[in-house]
Each structure stands twice: as C-alpha cells, then as structure tokens.
C-alpha cells in the first residue's frame, strides 16, 4: 500500500503518517532484526524516523544512533529516503565523570557538541530534525536560538523541534524566534494517547497556533492500549507495573477492547487511528520490536473512525474537558 504523506508542521517537508521509533534497537531488538524493520519501513513508505543520543541503555555510547549509522552506511539510498530526527539533552558521559557540560541540559556548547557526535554515530552529514529532548529553563532562549542558527547555517541541521515542552515553552521559544527572523520550532514530541490527554489543555492549542506538528510518543500508553487483556488471555506476559495498571483500569480496557473487536480492528490500531484523526497530529511514534508489529501498525492509517465511535472513545477515555481555560473556568 502507499501511505499519504503529510507536512511536518508548517514546513514543506513531507513525512509519513507514522514515525518509526527506534528506542528498542539494541536493548530489545538485535541489530540484524533492526535492519529488517528499517528495510520494511522504507518498503511501506515510512520515511520519518526518530531516535535520540541517549537511546541504547548504555549511557553516553549512543548505541541506537550507531545502529542506524551502520544501516545507512550500507548505501543504496537508505539515508536519502529518510527524514531523520534525533534529540539532545540527556546525560552523555560514559565514564560518569563530573563534567557539567555532559550532564543534562541545553547549553549552546552541549547542543553543538551533541550534534557533531550524533552526526558521527549516524554516519550522515546533516539531520533533518534536531529536537530538544526536554526543557532546560536554566538556559536562555537566546542561547538556544544562537546554537541552532549556527547549526542551520553550517548545513548540519534543517529543522528544530522540541519534546516534552509545555505550551508556554513553545510560545516563548517561537515568539523569540520570530523576533529574530528565525523559523523556530516546527514540531513538538509529547506523550499523548487515549489514556493520557493532558496536553489537550495547552500544548495542542500552542502547536496549532504556532504551526507545530505534534509527534505523539507512547501512543499506546506503554502497551495499555495495545490489546493487553487479549494478550494476557493468550498467555503473553506483562511486567508487574503493567499488570497493576491493567487491574486499575480493567473495566475501561474491557470496554475498549470490545469496541475494537466490534469494529473488526486491533485495539492498537484503533488507538493510533484516534490520534490520526486530530489535525494537529503529524505522526504518532510506533516502536516496533518485530516485523510483525511494524506490519500490523500500517493498518491504522486506513481506519476511518465514525463520529459515533469517536464519541464512544471520548466517553471511555475522557479528556481534560477541552482547552484551557474553558476546561476549568467559565
């Protein structure tokens, strides 16, 4: 099938409606299997890939970025087909030395050094989207803008994105960027799913106002929306933390999985399709550990939920009541 690509926020860059998350590459998915997943993603038309310098569960080593880099080094136009996103902010000190500039944060020094290191690991000369992995309110916005402007001028990054920003952080950054005649943020990556709708209060309105594409992470609520009850019935094991959450939400999950079954769809694909109905959403991040998981996710892009189904999902998983301040004030 052919996916319909969409703009990344207010840019002219076209990306797939699903973003390939790579956090499992290395810790959960062996490198040869990761290569097979990436090959299949390209075959499906999934050209938007997300990673981070800290992925790989070995602090400071950039394990997951390095896997992607070795994949791109095989050639065959692999890198050229991908809109590649990575992130900077976290600890990147493998020796555990007390270097404050390798700790968490977003100084210009860290951003520029982090970009150079990511480029080496990814074996590429540029990043399509360079994202701040978290807010650093101790770092002046002018310093951030200066660092990203330097990297853009050098041809090392094209677009700047944020992750885990509040609505007012987005407004602060993009207002300052506009004052300096810069493009500013083009995307925000935030936790968003049926069971966690907090960002509907202020982050989504900010994204819409400033033209940011929303890239939801954890679109299945850490597995809660992925048919967890069905999997338990077939003997598939879950962590104790997941089991506890399941018991807390069992009636809700039973109703959700029954709804999905009535539609003839998997719970995971209904949860992804719900996100894709929001015009602010550019692409939910899927994190397949296997080829089967990747193949199954493609179906979500074809599902059209009726107004009645959307209303039922709102009833099962109520949001915060709309946008601030109307959600809590007259």
Quote the Cα angle for 240-243-248, to 5°: 130
Please identify which residue in the block is written with the tokens 């978290």.
134
Q: Identify which of 62, 119, 70 has the alpha carbon closest to the alpha carbon of residue 91.
A: 62
Pairing state of beta strands 213-217 and 14-15? unpaired
Pairing state of beta strands 157-163 and 127-132? parallel
Question: How distant, in Å, are the alpha carbons of 254, 256, 274, 311 from that of 307?
Answer: 21, 16, 11, 6
Please identify which residue in the block is written with the tokens 């769809």.
265
Annotated active-site positions, please? 55
**Alpha-carbon span 12 to 249, nearest angstrom:** 41
**Alpha-carbon span 186 to 192, nearest angstrom:** 18
Q: Are 37 and 44 in contact (CB under 8 A)?
A: no
Question: How distant, in Å, are the alpha carbons of 6, 30, 272 from that of 13?
Answer: 8, 31, 22
* Lookup: tokens for 302: 């074809």
């Amino acid at each position: 099938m052919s996916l319909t690509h969409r703009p990344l926020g207010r840019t002219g860059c076209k990306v797939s409606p699903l973003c390939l998350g790579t956090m499992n590459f290395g810790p959960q998915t062996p490198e040869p299997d990761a290569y097979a997943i990436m090959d299949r993603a390209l075959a499906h038309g999934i050209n938007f890939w997300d990673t981070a310098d800290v992925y790989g569960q070995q602090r400071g080593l950039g394990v997951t970025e390095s896997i992607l880099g070795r994949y791109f080094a095989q050639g065959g136009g692999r890198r050229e087909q991908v809109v590649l996103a990575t992130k900077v902010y976290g600890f990147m000190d493998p020796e555990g030395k007390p270097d404050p500039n390798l700790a968490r944060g977003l100084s210009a020094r860290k951003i520029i050094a982090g970009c150079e290191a990511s480029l080496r690991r990814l074996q590429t000369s540029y990043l399509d989207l360079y994202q701040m992995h978290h807010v650093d309110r101790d770092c002046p916005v002018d310093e951030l803008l200066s660092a990203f402007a330097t990297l853009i001028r050098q041809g090392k990054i094209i677009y700047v994105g944020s992750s885990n920003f509040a609505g007012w952080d987005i407004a602060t950054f993009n207002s300052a960027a506009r004052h300096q005649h810069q493009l500013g943020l083009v995307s925000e990556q935030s936790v968003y799913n049926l069971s966690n709708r907090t960002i509907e209060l202020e982050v989504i309105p900010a994204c819409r106002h400033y033209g940011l594409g929303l890239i939801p992470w954890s679109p299945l609520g850490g597995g809660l929306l992925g048919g967890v009850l069905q999997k338990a019935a077939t003997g598939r094991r879950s962590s104790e933390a997941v089991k506890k959450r399941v018991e807390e939400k069992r009636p809700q999950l039973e109703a959700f999985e029954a709804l999905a079954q009535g539609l003839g769809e998997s719970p995971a694909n209904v949860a992804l399709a719900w996100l894709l109905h929001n015009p602010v959403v550019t692409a939910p991040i899927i994190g397949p550990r296997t080829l089967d998981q990747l193949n199954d996710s493609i179906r979500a892009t074809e599902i059209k939920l009726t107004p009645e189904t959307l209303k039922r999902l709102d009833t099962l998983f109520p949001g915060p009541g709309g946008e601030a301040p109307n959600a809590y004030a007259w």
